[in-house]
Structure 1
Amino acid sequence: MTEPMPRLLIVGAGDLAGQVLYQLARDLRPVAVTLGGRRDAEVRGKVNLARLAALQVGRQPVVDGRRVDLDDVDATAETIAALRPDVIFNAASLQSWWVIGTLPPAAFQRLYRANFGPWLPMHLTPALRLMTAVRRSGVRPVVVNAAYPDAVHPVLHTAGLAPDAGIGNVANNVPALRLIAAERLGVPVRDVGVRFVAHHYVSHHVSRTGDAEPDTFRLQVTVKGADRTADVDVGTLFLPLTSSHRRLGGMAGQLMTAASALSVLRPLLHGDAAQAHAPGVGGLPGGYPVRIGHGAVALDLPASVGLGDAVAVNEAGQRRDGIDRIRPDGTVEFTEESAGIMRESLGYDCRTMRLADCADHALELGARYQEYAARSGQDRTAAPTAVG
């Protein structure tokens, strides 16, 4: 008897969603993929491109599109109930991370200093609506979220609505770190394993500075399972990320984020066992090494790193990203430094945000940003600065 094809619903039809769709459409192991988005023409165009590109290389994918508007939670719940996906991949955001990179350099740098935390409502709002729809649907898919999972998940966890895992961020530097370690140890990269515990802030900055504060990460290097961390000089391991192993960032760098997404999605869809890295696992802050198996994602910490220590280093990175703490009721306290930059630059004044108010904050933040962009002479046709 032929096994049923695994079903994936991708929510959001932007660049990252498209890249994941195109790669899955060409896979040898078929997946029934539905792309859901608000703009019918964009959804239809991406679905047709995926089909035709796959046919060009001899594949016949099962790919279709649906209108999914997260503003309509009940309709989204009905779509999920009808499709009964095994996995949902959320790539929806009210403002993509790369948008501020289209500002003129001086205007961009002013906002960049605030780090990513203050932009939380732009990513939290769609994720909250999606998870509410999942709960109402009566279906229990595995939900994987791409939109700032390091902070979105612990906030949603306070309401019992956290997705199962995130993608990207901590995962994006792991391939380069494996290569660097393999070169230093003189062994094949296939024998090298890396377990990296770090928040979005750290994963973003190590590739730009070549350094990270010791209280913000934990890292283990193994060769064929044996711990070789002491032999690779962890203090300088990040430096080649800024030189010999530097890769393209910005929109071009989305290829790495898509690959990180697939490292989680493929084993979940096919029931494979795999090791990977993912942020926001189980509603925890920041990023972790994980084991994937039997349709679930679990932590895979080094033996020397306890859960309390892993959470503490991620919370240290979270503060540097502009979020001071997340209260047990889901209220977010932003750092004065980051909130001050947003207040001075945009006129957006937010030190604390309740989960129930995130949509209102997103609406105000989006409007304030548009005013700032207009004053700054934003070139909407320009390629974004390499910020990711």
Structure 2
Amino acid sequence: MPRGTVLITGGAGIVGRYATDFLARSSLVKKVVIADIKKKEGETVKYNAQIGSATMWNYPKVIFEKVDLTDIDAVVSLLKKHNPDVILQVATMLSSYFYAHLAEKVIKDRGLPYEGHLAGHTIAKDFVFTYYVMQALKEANINARVVNLAFPDITNYILGKIKLEPTIGAGTTDLTATGIQLLVAEALGVPIHNIDIRLVAHHAIRVIDPKKVPYYLKIMYNSEDITSQFDTIELFRKCIQITNYGIIIENSSMTASSAVSNVLALLHDNGIIKHSPGPGGLPGGWPVRINYDHISIMLPKEISVEKAIEINLKGMKYDGIDRVESDGTVVFTKDSVDYMKDVLKIDWPTVKPDEALDMAKDLIKAYKQLAEEINYKGIFGG
């Protein structure tokens, strides 16, 4: 039986609604299941997707299922009921569009000595739902692939330590590589698909000065290495500017597109080569070939897997995470610990997988209190 059923956990959220729309318009997708606790929003997303796809002469089945993703038994039942070919995990407990700009504002206004917003200190908010979904998938014992969009550079790596890693991530490195591909194509005046990129980089390169974050980048045109023709640091800076959020509008559409691209690549099962974070539980971002039964790492001969892992683990420290222990315990950097103590008034030097829900609740409470303290409404009015 042809594959074509996709279940989206967190499908009623900002990114989820874009992902649902995009999937419903693909002829590869026969059924989309939106799984979320927000019924009103979920039903709205469902009808938007159905009507939008119908105007483009595509008629998949779109279903909304109300579910609490922290209820593993309920998620198991949902998975067994729909038996999805691919699960797209986009749920998070706190939107980055809210906290990241708040953190950056406080760090800047108070003159604090931190790079970016130490994104890794909020890993719990992204880890929780992904952790529960992967536990439910294991218990349901169905043959589904998982694309995780919730901080996959780190979340997938943590889950890999405890043998619960998603198939692949999405966003971050994919947007970075594609942004560089576009800038190079524009500079040369050639179609974007004529430019071949091989990038190894952690999410951190998108949120602090790229000159400080380790990376590997190779740019090819007509099979010729043309990397030396470009100022790669300037490419990163321009790329982040055109693909990151907070310039004029948020980048939810691009982020969702990256996730849907990986879902469709899995359904296509024809070895599409692109970039993705967290393949098979690896840290950071990688060039990959995507097949349904296997994700291959597509590094040039000039760089080994071991070196690429080293680059990404160094990048992870710039995001505020020092290391991940073999049992999945996250050890935060001193900067992250100090920031959480001084600004958020919470004390979390480490977090174990089963402690993540408690930490996420502490983070949400702390950021809400911080926002009230400085009368912060969010860059998009939320």
TM over 0.5, yes or no?
yes
In structure 1, the residue matched to 2:49 is 50
Partner of 1:338: 336
Other structure's SS at 1:98 match:
helix
Aligned pairs for 1:231-310 (under 5 A) are 231-241=229-239, 246=242, 249-250=245-246, 252-310=250-308
Q: 1:139 to 1:29 in 2, by over 3 A?
A: closer
Residues of 1 paired with 2:237 and 2:121: CA distance?
Answer: 28
Q: Secondary structure at the match of 2:99?
A: helix
Q: Percent same amino acid among aligned pairs?
A: 29
Tell me the equivalent position of 2:323. Answer: 325
| CA pair 112-16 structure 1, distance change in 2 beyond 3 A | farther
State the AA in 2 paired with 1:193.
D
After superposition, the C-alpha distances for 1:213-241 in whole angstroms (9 at most, x for unaligned) are: 3x610011112333332333435433443
Q: CA 1:341–1:357 in 2, change beyond 3 Å: closer, same or farther? A: same
Deviations for 1:17-59, whole angstroms, at most 9, x for unmatched residues?
Answer: 1101101212244431111001111111100111112222332
Distance 1:375 1:200 in 2: 29
What SS class does the counterpart of residue 48 from structure 2 fall into? helix
Offset, 1:185: 4.7
Separation in structure 2 between the aligned mates of residue 143 and residue 156 of structure 1, nearest angstrom: 12
Q: What CA distance in whole angstroms lies between the structure 2 residues aligned with 1:358 and 1:104?
A: 20
1:127 to 127, 130, 133: 130
Can you list the C-alpha shifts for 1:103-150, whole angstroms capped at 9, x where unaligned? Answer: 498437469844201001111111111111111101121111000011
Q: Is 1:36 aligned to residue 32 of structure 2?
A: no
What is aligned with 1:18? Answer: 17
1:172 aligns with 2:175: yes
Match of 2:348 among 347, 350, 359: 350
Q: Is 1:27 matched with 2:40? A: no
**Selected match of 1:359 from 349, 357, 367:** 357
Alignment of 1:78-93 (within 5 A): 78-93=77-92
Q: Secondary structure at the match of 2:288?
A: strand
What secondary structure sits across from 1:212 in the alignment? helix
Q: Which secondary structure does the structure 1 equivalent of 2:177 belong to?
A: helix
Structure 1-normalised TM-score? Answer: 0.90
The 1:113–1:228 alpha-carbon spacing in structure 2 relative to 1, beyond 3 Å, is closer
> Is the Cα contact below 8 Å between 1:113 and 1:341 reproduced in 2?
no
Cα distance between partner residues in 2 of 1:107 and 1:133: 38
CA RMSD of aligned residues (A): 2.3
Query: What is the CA-CA distance between 1:329 and the residue it aligns to?
Result: 1.7
Does the alignment pair 1:96 with 2:95? yes
Tell me the alpha carbon deviations over residues 157-181 of structure 1, each in whole angstroms, 9 at most, x when there is no partner. Answer: 1111111111000111222211332
Q: Which amino acid aligns with 2:367?
A: Y
Instruction: Give the letter for the 1:269 counterpart.
Output: L
1:60/1:188 CA distance change after superposition, 3 Å: closer
Residue aligned with 2:258, SS = helix
User: Unaligned regions of 5+ residues in structure 1, if any?
Assistant: none
The 8 Å contact of residues 217 and 313 in structure 1, kept in 2 or not, is answered as yes
Residue 83 of structure 1 deviates from its aligned partner by 0.8
CA separation of 1:153 and 1:101: change in aligned 2, threshold 3 A: closer
Shift in alpha-carbon separation, 1:298–1:31, aligned structure 2, 3 A: farther
| TM-superposition CA deviations, 1:55-114 (whole Å, max 9, x none) | 223322221111221111011011101111110000111111111257498437469844
Find out whether 1:383 has 2:380 as its counterpart. Answer: yes
CA distance in 2 between partners of 1:378 and 1:233 (Å): 37
| TM-score, normalised relative to structure 2 | 0.91
Q: Cα gap change, 1:105/1:196 in structure 2, threshold over 3 Å: closer, same or farther? A: closer
Rounded Cα–Cα distance in structure 1 between residues aligned with 2:88 and 2:202: 21
Structure 2 unpaired stretches of 5+: none
1:217 corresponds in structure 2 to 215
Q: Distance in 1 between matches of 2:35 and 2:180?
A: 35
Residue matched to 1:69:
68
Contact 1:99–1:384 (Cα < 8 Å) also in 2: no
Higher deviation after alignment, 92-101 or 321-330 = 92-101
Mapped to 2, the partners of 1:223 and 1:106 lie a distance apart of 40
CA gap 1:222/1:339 in 2 versus in 1, 3 angstroms: same
Q: Secondary structure at the match of 1:330?
A: coil
CA distance in structure 2 between the aligned counterparts of 1:362 and 1:252, rounded to whole angstroms: 23
- Counterpart of 1:52, as a letter, is I
Shift of 1:267: 1.3
What is the rounded CA distance, in whole Å, between the counterparts of 1:326 and 1:120 in structure 2? 12
Aligned pairs, number: 375
Distance 1:235 1:44, change over 3 A: closer
Aligned residue for 1:301, secondary structure, equals coil
Q: For residues 197 and 72 of structure 1, do their structure 2 counterparts lie closer, same or farther at Cα, with a shift above 3 Å needed?
A: same
3-state SS, counterpart of residue 237 of structure 1:
helix
Q: Report which stretch shifted further, 245-254 or 44-53.
A: 245-254
Distance (whole Å) between structure 1 residues aligned to residue 173 and residue 55 of structure 2: 34
Residues 149 and 5 of structure 1: CA distance in aligned 2, closer, same or farther (over 3 Å): closer
